[in-house]
Amino acid sequence: MKKVTFKSVIVTFFFCLVGLQALAQKNTAFKTGEELTFKVSFGFLDAAEAKMLIHPKVYHTDNRPTFKIDVFGQTLGVFKLFKVNDNWGSYLDTAKIIPYQSYRHIEEGKYRKHERVLFDHQKKNAHVRLYDRENKELVSTKDYPVPANVQDIVSGFYLLRTMDLKKLKKGDMVTLTGFFDKEVHKINLMYTGKEQLKTKIGEFDTFVFSPIIPKNKLFRGEQPVTVWVTDDANKIPVRIKAKLWVGSLDMEITEAKGLRNN
């Protein structure tokens, strides 16, 4: 259950948003200090809460100014029996919108994983460092070849927000690329059109996307995941809906602070 309530859907969501570099433009959508909060529901139950935070100050990584971005997720209510307390992060170049480092601190039941990835975009290399259960001792390192300007699970979402989505036409399909869990992932993302959506933070015109996901034991249907992104200057995700073999899961925005454009 823990994978259904948070990890699997979030992973699918972020990787359905990477790889649209052809539409990239100057970032006018987000800034330091932004905070987005989401509620994840499984059926009629509140299953988890997720937060996406851009730290208030600009950091420097490899002598480049970067946003430090954290995504936190934890289970709620009866789902705490399958306790999830995850933190994914990225150091994202403020101009190029590519990651220099990413990290994961995973607590799911008794399972623990601590990982840091260093990206060398010139050499097209991802250097993965794994740490022990307490995140104190380095356990192993390994290098992996990656495509140029590859995204990580967090950075791809922010790349999407820099793009001119109005150029997309209904039915457009884009092949996406990102690095996660020691592998390069590719997925086809279909733009399915516009839709007006009412949320707890307001009513929005939205762009609607649907990743084409291979048949598996988690999702059902040919287009099991749908993502709604606001058609405004901020381009924030406001809803994600996933059809599962054991029901359905909804991730909806509940609060947005520090938006660049009000």
**Among candidate residues 201, 159, 196, 195, the one with its CA nearest the CA of residue 177:** 159
pLDDT at site 6: 46
- Whether 256 and 29 have beta carbons less than 8 Å apart is answered as no
Please state, in angstroms and rounded to a whole number, the distance separating the CA atoms of residues 105 and 91. Answer: 15
Pair 239, 9: CB distance under 8 Å:
no
For 215-249, how does the pLDDT look when each residue is reduced to its tens digit (9 = 90+)?
655 555 666 688 899 999 999 999 988 766 556 67
Report the helix count and the strand count for the chain, using DSSP H and E.
3, 15
Q: Report pLDDT for 245.
A: 55
Listed in sequence order, the residues at least 6 apart from 200 whose beta carbon sits closer than 8 Å to its beta carbon are 252, 253, 254, 255
* Res 232: pLDDT: 95
| Burial of residue 60, with CB atoms counted within 10 A of its CB: 0-12 exposed, 13-18 middle, 19 or more buried | exposed
User: In which residue ranges of the chain is pLDDT below 70?
Assistant: 1-25, 43-46, 76-82, 174-176, 187, 213-224, 243-248
pLDDT of residue 175: 65
pLDDT of residue 219: 58
Furthest C-alpha separation in the chain? 49
Give pLDDT, residue 195. 96
How does pLDDT run across 145-168, given as a tens digit for each residue?
999 889 888 888 888 888 888 888
DSSP per residue over 14-40, as a string? HHTS---GGGB----S--TT-EEEEEE
